[in-house]
Homo-oligomer: A and B are copies of this chain.
Amino acid sequence: MKSIILTGDRPSGRLHLGHYVGSLENRVLLQNDYEQYVMIADVQALTDNFENPQKITESVYDIALDYLSVGIDPEKTSIFIQSQIPEITELTIYYMNLVNLGRLERNPTVKNEIKQKGFNEGIPAGFLCYPISQAADITIFQAEYVPVGEDQVPMIEQTNEIVRRFNRIYQTECLKECKAILSKTGRLVGIDGKAKASKSLGNAIYLSDSPEEIKRKVFQMYTDPEHIHVQDPGKVEGNVVFSYLDAFHQDKEEVEELKAQYRKGGLGDVTIKKILLKTLTELTTPFREKRELFSKKDVQDILFSGTQKAREKANVTMELVRKSIGFSYFS
């Protein structure tokens, strides 16, 4: 039996190349060796977008199509919508008894996000409790592995604390602890060189961008403002074109040669941008071709059957959970 992986995204806009190197690429590989569940986390996205649900619901379909376009295979991976598996909320409620307020307030990931978001009217209970909800997401599928970034490791720790506590209190082994699979790649910078590529900053290259959009964005990329003439020596560090070449160019040796030449002088921005454009075109052309294969109805059907499969799995765990607590009166 294959080990289970749970992963997913908050639907709050189309996916971009940062998502590809950070996680999607990996999922395409992992689906061959694991039973993989990919969750479109609309309920979680609602915790900080509750006044703007359209943003979420409009992204669900886009994200599913992004998944399919990069090669996530619905035969190997169950792509599902979180809200359509209400059993997750049931498990969350049971977990909420096992986590104290102080523990939630100390969660480093949440603390950090609360600072960033600056909730004006105070912290919504739903947001504070989302690590509990995440624990339910992971454990309801009996996931053993969860691919995460370094900053999400406290979430895995919180999950395993809950698992141990639940299993101890209800004298069961129905819940499994999970392990983080740390993503190898750091975050991809935006085309403006500022922080990471993100929807809100409008500095990302989307998986669904047309060749023209990609070209425009590559030629807009921040390089080295002091590299004015081709002959001038240029800086590679902080140069977005090289960050993207590092991330996407297949021939690492060639990239190192280009860097050396750029540093020395004699390599123009237009040249390296053309090389990157070729690289990104080679990468994304199959995505665009694959994308064309799926009608809106196909995506809908894939989401429906993925959700059904995931829900069956979730129900197996919930039966055990209810039985452990003693809340299975009619079965």
Q: Give A102 to B322 CA distance when docked, in angstroms.
A: 32
Question: Could you tell me which residues of chain A, from 72 to 112, have a CB within 8 Å of some CB in chain B?
Answer: 81, 83-84, 86-87, 89-90, 92-94, 96-104
B125 contacts A84, CB within 8 Å? Answer: no
Return the chain B residue nearest A105 by Cβ. Answer: B101
User: Which residues of B sit under 8 angstroms from A103, Cβ to Cβ?
Assistant: 122
Fill in one digit per residue for A264-281: 1 if any B CB lies within 8 Å of its CB, else 0: 000000000000000000
Interface: A304 (CB within 8 A)? yes
Q: Give the interface segment out of A48-56, A142-150, A221-229, A234-242.
A: A48-56
The 8 Å CB contact of A50, one of B43, B97, B304, is B97
- The 27 sampled A-B contact pairs (Cβ below 8 Å) are A42-B327, A43-B327, A46-B97, A46-B325, A47-B96, A47-B97, A53-B170, A53-B326, A53-B327, A56-B326, A57-B326, A57-B327, A60-B329, A83-B327, A86-B87, A92-B93, A96-B125, A96-B126, A100-B119, A100-B122, A100-B124, A100-B125, A101-B124, A102-B123, A129-B129, A300-B330, A304-B330
Interface: A169 (CB within 8 A)? yes
B81 contacts A104, CB within 8 Å? Answer: no
A129 contacts B83, CB within 8 Å? Answer: no
Q: Give A175 to B75 CA distance when docked, in angstroms.
A: 40
Interface: A163 (CB within 8 A)? no
B83 contacts A101, CB within 8 Å? Answer: no
Q: Give A108 to B104 CA distance when docked, in angstroms.
A: 22
The 8 Å CB contact of A101, one of B54, B123, B329, is B123
Q: Give A158 to B223 CA distance when docked, in angstroms.
A: 54
Interface residues of A toward B: which range? 35 or more
Fill in one digit per residue for A307-327: 1 if any B CB lies within 8 Å of its CB, else 0: 100000000000000100111
Question: Could you tell me the distance in whole angstroms from the C-beta of A144 to the nearest C-beta in chain B?
Answer: 25
User: Which residues of B sit under 8 angstroms from A93, Cβ to Cβ?
Assistant: 43, 89, 92-93, 126, 133
B132 contacts A125, CB within 8 Å? Answer: yes
Interface: A255 (CB within 8 A)? no
Q: Give A244 to B125 CA distance when docked, in angstroms.
A: 43
Interface: A219 (CB within 8 A)? no
Of all A-B residue pairs in the complex, the 8 with the closest CB atoms, nearest first, are A100-B122, A96-B126, A57-B326, A97-B126, A50-B97, A83-B327, A86-B90, A89-B93
Q: Give A289 to B47 CA distance when docked, in angstroms.
A: 52
Q: Give A219 to B16 CA distance when docked, in angstroms.
A: 79
Interface: A30 (CB within 8 A)? no
Interface: A127 (CB within 8 A)? yes
User: Which residues of B sit under 8 angstroms from A54, Cβ to Cβ?
Assistant: 326
Question: Could you tell me the distance in whole angstroms from the C-beta of A7 to the nearest C-beta in chain B?
Answer: 20
Q: Give A46 to B54 CA distance when docked, in angstroms.
A: 35
Interface: A251 (CB within 8 A)? no
